[in-house]
Amino acid sequence: MKPRDRLRIAMQKSGRLTEPALDLLTRCGLTFRQSRDKLFCFGEGEPVDLLLVRDDDIPGLIAQGVCDLGIVGRNVLSEFQLTGGREAEPLAELRPLGFGRCRLSIAVPQELDYREPRQLQGRRIATSYPGLLGEWLRAQGVDAGVVTLAGSVEIAPKLGTADAICDLVQSGGTLVANQLREADVLLQSEAVLAGPLALPADERGDLLELLLKRLDGVIQVRESRLLLLQTSRHSLEAVTRLLPGGPQPTLLPVAGQPDQLMLQALCAGEVSWRQLEEIKKAGAREMFVLPVEKMLA
């Protein structure tokens, strides 16, 4: 491979990961001029270009050195690690990216009373993930037939070509539409940044390091929430105990109400309705959860 001075990132051309991946890269300060065939996007802000491809091709492109990085589902990356060409360079999951969450699951016909993996003994399971399924079956000590299909896995039981399936589940809509139900989870997946185990020794290594730092900043801010609420001094302790982790909250006086305090806390993750309701029960009111746009400590 001749040395390159621009970094090249492979990502899904069109699909569930495309929009959030582009959004993430934009937040990292990368801008692109899209070429007419939309396969290659030239990076304008930084020397980082995009290659838009089928998600299943991404790990191979990195392993062959055609691309330096890829944004791809952990499911696709892990499957490649298990079944990709033996000569291929091993790849690393450099960062989980927090979007495109789904799981690789076993699903069975709704009427089947599934309780444990052993019931799959001697059955045929259709999947596009023979590597991951095979590994799981071995770990469970189950001997089942693996029917590898490129797509439309969910109709295999109805067609009689399989007794169960092993496929991605996100909302569960596809399973319901095909009278299947989720029986066991093999892998929790999300979009990840995939790359080589070692940084390239040329300028791309420095670029990659810079990009990882920006990415970490973007991810940290994206997952931070600012929680604002009012509480009486009397309830303060109970309220504080329920606050989702993070640095110490800031307390401010409320004009004209000496017994009341305004509390401001930075939370490390999502604040759910359930958590808010609990905090309210402990005595908080006037609660706001705000996204954090930029942070400079």
Q: Which residues bind Zn ion (CB under 5 A)?
A: 55
Under rule CB under 6 A, residue 79 binds ligand PRP: no
SS3 204: helix
Q: Which of 291, 196, 222 is nearest to 26 (CA)?
A: 222
Q: How far is the CB of 154 from ligand PRP (least distance, A)?
A: 6
Under rule CB under 6 A, residue 174 binds ligand PRP: yes
Under rule CB under 6 A, residue 167 binds ligand PRP: yes
CA distance 184 to 136: 11
CA distance 149 to 166: 11
The interface partner of residue 284, options being ligand PRP, Zn ion, none and the CB cut-off 5 to 8 Å by kind, is: none
Q: Judged by CB under 6 A, how many residues of this single chain contact ligand PRP?
A: 12
Residue 193, beta-bridge partner list: 71, 95
Under rule CB under 6 A, residue 171 binds ligand PRP: yes
Under rule CB under 6 A, residue 168 binds ligand PRP: yes
The interface partner of residue 65, options being Zn ion, ligand PRP, none and the CB cut-off 5 to 8 Å by kind, is: none
The interface partner of residue 171, options being Zn ion, ligand PRP, none and the CB cut-off 5 to 8 Å by kind, is: ligand PRP
Q: How far is the CB of 209 from ligand PRP (least distance, A)?
A: 31
Q: How far is the CB of 56 from ligand PRP (least distance, A)?
A: 7
Q: How far is the CB of 283 from ligand PRP (least distance, A)?
A: 39
What ranges in the chain are assigned the alpha helix state H?
A: 18-27, 58-63, 74-83, 130-140, 156-159, 173-177, 203-222, 236-241, 273-281
Stretch that binds ligand PRP, among 44-52, 168-176, 253-261, 277-285 (CB under 6 A): 168-176
Under rule CB under 6 A, residue 172 binds ligand PRP: yes
Sequential DSSP letters for 65-125: TS-SEEEEEHHHHHHHHHHS-TTSPPEEEEEE-S-S-EEEEEEEETTS----GGGGTT-EE
Under rule CB under 6 A, residue 16 binds ligand PRP: yes
Could you tell me if 191 and 17 are in contact, meaning their C-beta atoms sit under 8 angstroms apart?
yes
Give the residue with the Cβ less far from ligand PRP, 22 or 180: 180
The interface partner of residue 167, options being ligand PRP, Zn ion, none and the CB cut-off 5 to 8 Å by kind, is: ligand PRP
The interface partner of residue 151, options being Zn ion, ligand PRP, none and the CB cut-off 5 to 8 Å by kind, is: ligand PRP
Element (H, E) at 52: strand 48-53
Q: How far is the CB of 75 from ligand PRP (least distance, A)?
A: 8
Supply φ then ψ for residue 26, to 5 degrees. Answer: -65, -40
Could you tell me if 284 and 231 are in contact, meaning their C-beta atoms sit under 8 angstroms apart?
yes
- Candidate residues 141, 151, 256, 258; the one interacting with ligand PRP per rule CB under 6 A: 151
- Candidate residues 24, 125, 137, 169; the one interacting with ligand PRP per rule CB under 6 A: 169
Give the residue with the Cβ less far from ligand PRP, 55 or 68: 55
Q: 18-27 vs 203-222: helix axis angle to the nearest 10? A: 100
Q: 74-83 vs 130-140: helix axis angle to the nearest 10? A: 80
E strands in 143-295 = 145-148, 164-169, 180-189, 191-196, 225-232, 250-253, 260-267, 285-291
SS3 272: coil
Q: How far is the CB of 172 from ligand PRP (least distance, A)?
A: 5
Contacts with ligand PRP, residue ranges (CB under 6 A)? 15-16, 151, 154, 167-174
